[in-house]
């Protein structure tokens, strides 16, 4: 099944919170995940830089850390959500304000903006989506070894039944899990992924690019 971009928030069997992001794409598969001074970004691979002029939504910061909170999204909403949380706003309010202001992407598919966030020591993860027909922001109680996920298409609403097993000891393993672990393995057209995994000191970040 093809569901487009995917976000997930979960907890490892060892009790470490995490956010995951995955690019699945039919139109712009020539992208990769890179580390930057601000987190993890999705950008075109070498030789395809001009794709940004075909679609301005294909490059963005996908994962950022705001103090004790990790944020992952499918677009430019990553930055305002993270910055509002860093300024002291609650995760819920930061998601609501950022998603409603930016709204869904005005591309050929009216692509929803999706987001997840989790505080390092919290027992709940937050999920948000703004579609052409709805704005939904809600929290889920985290369970060790599971991750809540949803996407831009088909499974485009945060629901209790959208749960995947989640196993990862490192951020690298978490990023790879978003591509071929659990229920993510059944979702088509993976391109690249990004993950933030809680540690005793903060969050570790890692990206994975298919075929790299």
Tens digit of pLDDT at every position of the chain (212 positions): 999 999 999 999 999 999 999 999 999 899 999 999 989 999 999 999 898 999 999 999 999 999 999 999 999 999 999 999 999 999 999 999 999 999 999 998 999 999 999 999 999 999 999 999 999 999 999 999 999 999 999 999 999 999 999 999 999 999 999 999 999 999 999 999 999 999 999 999 999 999 87
Give residue limits of the domains in the chain.
6-209
Q: What is the pLDDT of residue 183?
A: 98
Instruction: Kindly report the pTM of this predicted structure.
Output: 0.96
Give φ, ψ of 147 to 5 degrees: -135, 135
Beta carbons of 28 and 209 less than 8 angstroms apart:
no
CA–chain centroid gap for 1, Å, is 19
CATH, range 6-209: 3.60.20.20
**188: Cβ contacts below 8 Å, ≥ 6 apart:** 1, 2, 3, 24
How far is 192 from 112, CA to CA, in rounded Å?
Answer: 19
Residue 115: predicted pLDDT? 98
């Amino acid at each position: 099944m093809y569901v487009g971009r995917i976000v997930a928030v979960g907890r490892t069997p060892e009790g470490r919170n995490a956010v995951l992001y995955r690019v699945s794409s039919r139109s712009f598969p020539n992208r990769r995940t890179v580390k930057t001074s601000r987190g993890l970004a999705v950008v075109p691979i070498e030789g395809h830089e001009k794709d940004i002029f075909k679609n301005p939504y294909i490059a963005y910061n996908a994962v950022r850390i705001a103090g004790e909170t990790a944020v992952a999204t499918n677009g430019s909403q990553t930055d305002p959500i993270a910055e509002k949380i860093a300024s002291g706003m609650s995760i819920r309010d930061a998601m609501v304000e950022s998603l409603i202001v930016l709204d869904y992407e005005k591309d050929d598919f009216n692509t929803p903006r999706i987001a997840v966030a989790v505080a390092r020591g919290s027992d709940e993860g937050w999920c948000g989506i703004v579609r052409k027909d709805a704005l939904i922001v809600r929290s889920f109680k985290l369970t060790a070894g599971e991750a809540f996920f949803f996407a831009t298409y088909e499974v485009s609403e945060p629901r209790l039944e959208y749960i995947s097993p989640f196993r990862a000891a490192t951020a690298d393993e978490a990023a790879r899990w978003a591509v071929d672990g659990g229920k993510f393995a059944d979702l088509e057209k993976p391109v690249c992924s990004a993950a933030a995994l809680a540690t005793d000191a903060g969050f570790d970040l890692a990206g994975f690019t298919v075929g790299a």
